[in-house]
Amino acid sequence: MTSSDQDGCAEFSRLSRRGLLRGTLAVGAGIGVTSVYGSAFVQTSYAATRSAPAVLVVLSLRGAVDGMSLVVPHGDPVYYAARPRIAVPAATLLAKDGFFGLHPNLAPLLPMWNAGRMAAVHATGLPAPNRSHFAAIEEVEDADPGSAARVGWLNRLIGRDADTHPLQAIQLGESVPPVALAGPQASVAVESIDDMRLAGADKWDTAGRRPRSMRTMWAGAPGPLGVGARSAMRAIADYGPVRATAPGPANGARYPGGDLGKALAATARTIRGDVGAEVITVDHGSWDHHADLGTLEWGDLQRMTTELASALAAFFTDLGPLASKVTVVTLSEFGRRTKENANYGLDHGFGNVMLLLGAGVRGGYHGAWPGLTNDVNADLLVTTDYRSVLAEVVVKRMGASSARVFPGFQPEQVGAIA
């Protein structure tokens, strides 16, 4: 063994004690500190992660889903007047009340709806229209208009306690992290669970040279890449319990083919692995249906709605009893226009629907309907700030303070979470 090997081993045994790690971390917060414990990554799990008492899954329907196709306001005559070709016929709707009904392709979720475990809050959105996808995503996910700092609401949520473990928040299915997770708290973004391994740290690397040398290399590396490298090496070690779970879905769940099913299956597996993930984000889309949104017989919306509903239904089946701690909420950057365009599609609009499923949800239709107007530029107006919906989730499910996650915002009562 060379002298550097010995140093490495001593360092390993010294720093693998979690108490010392925490002590180091308590000096400050965020990126600067992450580099402080850069040399402290350990190869074996040190039970760094606590069990998450509640899990929030944020499913972003990217590109702006048309909420009026998913949750149809059949009681508003303007809906049918404005969409002569692409409106969803009232006779086909599910879970119909006097005013709303669900798109027929949401059928796989009907059992959850009927059991009171699924809610829809209509006419939600930003305080003022923002029709740029990119600017709206920034605004929705930053959710702190008073501050110029680019810190996402989920980063503030996981920053509410002393836990700084990167596995506290995980994006699955997409390796580019979302704005909502941007900020000083480390998080993980991976396409799949299989990605959580260090190439070269194999059975031939008997002396553990590979992980040790990589920790040395990246211990003091600056910037987001240095943070990412260190988080990755720490997360690999602690993700072990997830890799130890069976790779297939449980409880007879059958996911549809496609990225959403894969990401939600990985989400369920991660929750089963119990590695302390409190927040899991999944992106799906594009739902940017300027053209070929289509009808019930053909088009992108009916096809994607089937995929969405069957993937979510499979997810809750897969979770089994663990479903009692998991809440899913869907978000889009904005809604779509009331009136259809010439291409069987809808241009960028304003208000939208948010869906909530699972733990703590008070099922049914929520929100105040503003009434539609049939004008080429008319939008569904927003009657409920989307932050009021999210505030209920983070306060009642995650035990967070709304003022911390949504600074300067006064949430209104929505009633979608018990």
Partner 1 sequence: MTAARPYPKTPIPTRATLHALQRFTAGYTPALNRQVVAAGGFARWFERQLTGAYDDRWATQTAAWWPSVDATPEQVWKRHQDGVEELWRADANYQCWSLARRIGSQRQVLETMADFWEHHLHVPAAGEVGPFRASYGRMVRARALGRYADLLQAAVTHPAMAVYLTNANSSKRAPNENLGRELLELHTVGRGQYDEDDVKASARILTGWRIGLWRDWAVSYDPAHHWTGPVTVMGFSHANAAADGRPVVTAYLNYLARHPATARRIATKLARRFVSDAPPAALVSRLASVYLKNDTAIVPVLRALVTSPELAAARNAKVRTPAEDVVATWRALDVRLTAAPRNGDDEIAANQLLWQTASLGLTPFGWQRPDGRPDDAASWSSTSRFLASVDVHYTMAGGWWPRRGAAYRAPASWLPAKKLRFDQLVDHLARNLHGQRSTPLLLRVACEATGCKPREVITRKHRIMRWEMPRLLTVLLDSPTHMTR
Of 252, 368, 391, 271, which is closest to residue 313 (Cα–Cα)? 252
Residue of 30, 75, 226, 364 that binds partner 1 (CB under 8 A):
226
Of 111, 157, 117, which is closest to residue 360 (Cα–Cα)? 117
Residue of 39, 43, 216, 402 that binds partner 1 (CB under 8 A):
216
Strand stretches in 106-215, DSSP E:
118-125, 169-172, 188-190
Q: What is the DSSP letter of 95?
A: S
Q: How far is the CB of 99 from partner 1 (least distance, A)?
A: 28
**Cα 305 to chain centroid, rounded:** 18
For β-strands 55-61 and 101-102, DSSP reports them as unpaired
For partner 1, the closer of residues 318 and 379 by Cβ is: 379
Residue of 166, 294, 335, 411 that binds partner 1 (CB under 8 A):
166
* Contact between residue 361 and residue 417 where contact means Cβ atoms under 8 Å apart: yes
Indicate the SS3 state at residue 267. helix
Residue of 91, 149, 162, 199 that binds partner 1 (CB under 8 A):
199
Q: How far is the CB of 8 from partner 1 (least distance, A)?
A: 7
* Contact between residue 337 and residue 349 where contact means Cβ atoms under 8 Å apart: yes
**Identity (one letter) of the amino acid at 156?**
R
Cβ within 8 Å of residue 75, ≥6 positions away: 98, 99, 100
Q: For the segment 54-93, give every residue that binds partner 1 (CB under 8 A).
A: 62-63
Stretch that binds partner 1, among 81-89, 118-126, 334-342, 367-375 (CB under 8 A): 334-342
Q: How far is the CB of 376 from partner 1 (least distance, A)?
A: 7
- Residue 246 sits in the site that holds partner 1 (CB under 8 A): no
- Calpha distance 343→294 (Å, rounded): 9
Count of other CB atoms within 10 angstroms of residue 199: 7
Cβ within 8 Å of residue 122, ≥6 positions away: 67, 71, 73, 100, 351, 353, 365, 366, 367, 369
For partner 1, the closer of residues 130 and 388 by Cβ is: 130
- Residue 342 sits in the site that holds partner 1 (CB under 8 A): yes
- Residue 237 sits in the site that holds partner 1 (CB under 8 A): no
- Calpha distance 157→294 (Å, rounded): 38
- Residue 175 sits in the site that holds partner 1 (CB under 8 A): yes
- Residue 42 sits in the site that holds partner 1 (CB under 8 A): no
- Residue 366 sits in the site that holds partner 1 (CB under 8 A): no
Give bridge partners of residue 385 from the DSSP assignment: 125
Of 274, 302, 229, which is closest to residue 65 (Cα–Cα)? 302
- Residue 375 sits in the site that holds partner 1 (CB under 8 A): no
- Residue 349 sits in the site that holds partner 1 (CB under 8 A): no
For partner 1, the closer of residues 295 and 341 by Cβ is: 341
Q: What is the DSSP letter of 361?
A: B
For partner 1, the closer of residues 115 and 199 by Cβ is: 199
- Residue 210 sits in the site that holds partner 1 (CB under 8 A): yes
For partner 1, the closer of residues 73 and 173 by Cβ is: 173
For β-strands 188-190 and 118-125, DSSP reports them as unpaired
Residue of 176, 246, 252, 321 that binds partner 1 (CB under 8 A):
176
For partner 1, the closer of residues 174 and 392 by Cβ is: 174
- Calpha distance 179→142 (Å, rounded): 7
- Calpha distance 151→184 (Å, rounded): 7
- Residue 221 sits in the site that holds partner 1 (CB under 8 A): yes
Q: Find the helix or strand (DSSP H, E) in which 410 lies.
A: none
> Binders of partner 1: how many residues, by CB under 8 A?
62
- Residue 132 sits in the site that holds partner 1 (CB under 8 A): yes
For partner 1, the closer of residues 5 and 97 by Cβ is: 5
Q: For the segment 250-309, give every residue that binds partner 1 (CB under 8 A).
A: 285-286, 290-291
Stretch that binds partner 1, among 2-10, 37-45, 103-111, 116-124 (CB under 8 A): 2-10
For β-strands 55-61 and 326-331, DSSP reports them as parallel
Q: How far is the CB of 73 from partner 1 (least distance, A)?
A: 22
Binding site for partner 1 (CB under 8 A): 2, 4-5, 8, 62-63, 131-135, 166, 171, 174-177, 182, 188-191, 195-200, 207, 209-210, 212-214, 216-218, 221, 223-229, 231-232, 235-236, 285-286, 290-291, 340-343, 345, 347-348, 376-377
